[in-house]
Amino acid sequence: MYFSLHPIGLRYLLDSMQLLPTTKDVFGSTTGLYTIGIIALLILLALRPVIIFGLKLALSCSKKPLEFAMLIRVRRRVTGWAMRRILYRKIFRRGSSLDTYTRAQIMFIMFHLSINFAFILVNISSSEEVFSRAGKLAIANAILLYLGPGLDFSTSVLRIGLRAQKQLHASAGYVVVVLSILHAAGAFSKRGWLAVEQIRDLLPALALLGICSLVLPLRALATFLPYELVLFVHNTLALLSGYAIWCHVPADQQLVRATLCVIAGIFLLLLLTRVLIMAYRNHFWFQSISFEQNGTSRYVRIVISLRRPLRVEPGQYINLWTPTTLSSVLQSHPFSIGNCSSEVETQLRMVVDVKRGFTNNLRELAKRCMTSNIAIFAGPYGSRIPVENYETVLLVATGLGFVALSPYLQWLVRAAHNKEIKINPVHLVWQVSSWEQFCAVYDLLGETIQVDNKASGTNVSRENNNTQLQEDKTYVKTSIYYDENGIPPDWAKDMIEQVKKMRKRWKRVHLYEYQMPLADILRKEAATKAADSSVSKPKLIAASVSGDVRDDLVQFATAKSSLFDLIFTDYQPEDDRHSFEDPVNQFKSNINDKQADAGVPLDDSARGKDVRSSYESRNDESCGRIQEFQYKTESYSKDLC
């Protein structure tokens, strides 16, 4: 077969090959070595399960297998110490927009900057080379920022936790900003304002502004802007900054352009992989989704009926997309999965705390009785806590943190009854901030107890033609703590009575009408004996809690480091302060605002009448919620009996 090339095309191909970086350019420069090091590190992280499996296989074939067990114990102790002393220790005061920064993140940022400055200052010949290397290293560090279309997918590829991936992403962002500013300062000191006269140099100046805005804490912006909008602007600025940097780099900088091509190639490859996986798991079509408020106004329950069964691990979450409004076409939101069976799942259930943006649209659809829709999900993503390695497990949750811990509770109950693991009864400690919150998620707890009751029922065994009844052990113990102010007395009283009736049938559910005494609970758990007293293992505290409880747990685990291992789930609820507002005062303020807007004088008698009518309407709404709650709890109780 005969092939021919046009002279112009052949010349363009030869010119392109000449522009490619040579081996000497890559390995003979500090920036090239740094780029290769980052790529090699990412490859090792992605292949870490294969490497660990190979090491285990090699050590198991050795003549001294006990040394491998000793290494596992040392690794567990070092990991536990690092989590308590470094990973979970915060630098800034709680409540600020910077309270998520821990000692580990600050140390990693300083270490990351130190390595980059070391590569900048090695074998320099002039100050211009310093500024040039700073710009090249900024592009090399950008590889860590463009690992796929989202952090959730890159965590699955790199086999690291979401918290670690966020810290890595933030650290790389800060390093890129520092090096970009250093590079821009060198160009400005040399050329002055002439450095931004041409469009090729003006674009990177705008890109620098975009990069600096990207390092703003998303949590601080999400307090007054919808989460989806903040994320969309963040991703858009990242793509525009990448294009501006490409336009800024001269064509003769082969290594820098090759690095940009590597970044684009990694991003596009992971994007294509994510799209293919998402299409396969969605069965190449939309999923059926339904949602309801369950009598509450602040929470929406979501149920996705899967077209293809899906295997879900405890602690995982999905990104959900559903066309609620015109702006929702480009919006997706992460939600924790609340159910996890031993087999594959045919449904995914989640509970949503309504705030701004996407979640508020779901509530509006539920109010209009549009309880079904179509959706596409991506995932599941997230790391799993190794609960099977412990004999005593304490689950601590506040608010909707129970949704993140419910799959672990379900998995432990099934595994214990199937004799796959040997554990003490799992103790769930749950601080409820409102009865609306409890009504939104109580079915997840009910199903877990139902599974425990069925598995621990009376079994019949025959020995020597004699029928023997054998009672299995139950593995669920739940303590619910409730202390809410401002709820109408009748509603709170009736709801408590319903839970007490439910508690008579669910004997392992204990209700306490006061704040959770965390210190007393932890002291009691510390005195609990293991299921196998001959083996000394630490106890596990798995938590999905608000900030104040999180700090108390870290302080306790640090003091009792030899007894407890503390691990937090990927989802951590925020402080739920608005649940404790007095509704009567809230009604008063709303009525005063409406009358003031209408120009009506605030008469005390009229104000009291309006407050009473609003209060009565709230009681009527609460009665409806109580009836629905009573009907569903009775149906659950019949199933359990």
Q: Is residue 295 part of a domain?
A: yes
Q: Which of 381, 407, 442 is the last residue of a domain?
A: 381
- The percentage of residues in the chain with a pLDDT greater than 90, rounded to a whole number, is 8
Return the pLDDT at 424. 85
Long-range contacts of 258-262 (CB under 8 A, 24+ apart): 258/20, 258/21, 259/35, 259/136, 259/139, 259/140, 259/143, 260/139, 262/35, 262/39, 262/143
Residue 636: pLDDT band with limits 50, 70, 90: very low
Whether residues 399 and 547 share a domain: the answer is: yes
Q: Is residue 462 part of a domain?
A: no
Q: Is residue 1 part of a domain?
A: no
The pLDDT of residue 395 is above 90: yes
CB-based contacts of 407, cutoff 8 Å, min separation 6: 312, 313, 314, 315, 316, 337, 338, 339, 340
Cα 641 to Cα 639: distance, rounded to the nearest angstrom = 6
Q: Is residue 53 part of a domain?
A: no
Residue 447 lies in domain: 387-457+469-578
Cα 209 to Cα 212: distance, rounded to the nearest angstrom = 5
- Which of residues 250 and 411 earns the better pLDDT score? 411
- Residue bearing tokens 């450095």: 195
Return the pLDDT at 282. 92
Whether residues 413 and 489 share a domain: the answer is: yes
* Closest alpha carbon to 215 in 275, 170, 274, 165: 170
Q: From the CB of residue 434, how many other CB atoms can be counted at a distance below 10 Å? A: 20
Residue 608: pLDDT band with limits 50, 70, 90: very low
Q: What is the DSSP letter of 273?
A: H
Cα 538 to Cα 77: distance, rounded to the nearest angstrom = 10
CB-based contacts of 67, cutoff 8 Å, min separation 6: 59
Query: Per-residue pLDDT tens for 337-348?
Result: 988 876 788 889
Q: Which of 381, 410, 435 is the last residue of a domain?
A: 381
What does DSSP say about strands 333-336 and 345-353: parallel, antiparallel, or unpaired? unpaired
Cis status of the peptide bond prior to 380, with omega within 30 of 0: yes
Whether residues 533 and 603 share a domain: the answer is: no
CATH number at residue 406: 3.40.50.80
Query: Per-residue pLDDT tens for 251-282?
Result: 778 888 888 888 898 899 988 999 999 999 99
Whether residues 514 and 416 share a domain: the answer is: yes
CATH number at residue 346: 2.40.30.10
Q: From the CB of residue 467, how many other CB atoms can be counted at a distance below 10 Å? A: 8
**36 touches 259 (CB < 8 A):** no
Whether residues 371 and 396 share a domain: the answer is: no
Domain count, the chain: 4
Residue 597: pLDDT band with limits 50, 70, 90: very low
Q: Is residue 442 part of a domain?
A: yes
- Which of residues 236 and 202 earns the better pLDDT score? 236
Residue 317: pLDDT band with limits 50, 70, 90: very high
pTM recorded for the entire structure? 0.76
Helix, strand, coil percent content, the chain, rounded in steps of 5: 60, 15, 25
Whether residues 137 and 25 share a domain: the answer is: yes
Return the pLDDT at 377. 92
Geometric angle at alpha carbon 206, from 203 and 209, rounded to 5°: 155
Residue 624: pLDDT band with limits 50, 70, 90: very low
Q: Is residue 434 part of a domain?
A: yes
Q: Is residue 58 part of a domain?
A: no
As to burial, measured by CB atoms within 10 angstroms (0-12 exposed, 13-18 middle, 19+ buried), residue 86 is middle
The pLDDT of residue 397 is above 90: yes
Average pLDDT over residues 29-51: 86
* Closest alpha carbon to 630 in 349, 440, 439, 448: 439
Amino acid residing at 341: S
Residue 438: pLDDT band with limits 50, 70, 90: confident
Whether residues 568 and 597 share a domain: the answer is: no
- Residue bearing tokens 């009907």: 631
Whole-angstrom CA distances from 530 to 77, 205, 226, 388, 539 are 19, 62, 47, 14, 9
The pLDDT of residue 463 is above 50: no
The pLDDT of residue 530 is above 80: no
Cα 337 to Cα 315: distance, rounded to the nearest angstrom = 7
**121 touches 130 (CB < 8 A):** yes
Q: Is the dihedral of CA 271, 276, 279, 284 positive or negative?
A: positive
CB-based contacts of 403, cutoff 8 Å, min separation 6: 336, 338, 350, 351, 441, 444, 571
Cα 432 to Cα 483: distance, rounded to the nearest angstrom = 8
The pLDDT of residue 79 is above 80: no
Cα 567 to Cα 562: distance, rounded to the nearest angstrom = 15
Lowest mean pLDDT among 370-379, 590-599, 630-639: 590-599
* Closest alpha carbon to 318 in 571, 545, 100: 571
Amino acid residing at 305: S
Return the pLDDT at 80. 65
Whether residues 539 and 614 share a domain: the answer is: no
Lowest mean pLDDT among 9-18, 314-323, 589-598: 589-598
Whether residues 114 and 143 share a domain: the answer is: yes
Cα 568 to Cα 282: distance, rounded to the nearest angstrom = 30
Whether residues 559 and 598 share a domain: the answer is: no
Q: Is residue 223 part of a domain?
A: yes
Average pLDDT over residues 67-91: 65
Whether residues 301 and 363 share a domain: the answer is: yes
Count Cα neighbours of 341 within 13 Å in the Cβ-side half-sphere: 12
Consecutive H or E run containing 456 = none
Mean pLDDT across the chain: 73
Whether residues 538 and 473 share a domain: the answer is: yes
- Which of residues 408 and 80 earns the better pLDDT score? 408
Residue 23, helix vs strand vs coil: helix
Whole-angstrom CA distances from 253 to 136, 137, 203 are 10, 13, 18
The pLDDT of residue 227 is above 90: no
Q: Which of 279, 314, 337 is the last residue of a domain?
A: 279
Consecutive H or E run containing 125 = none
Return the pLDDT at 102. 74
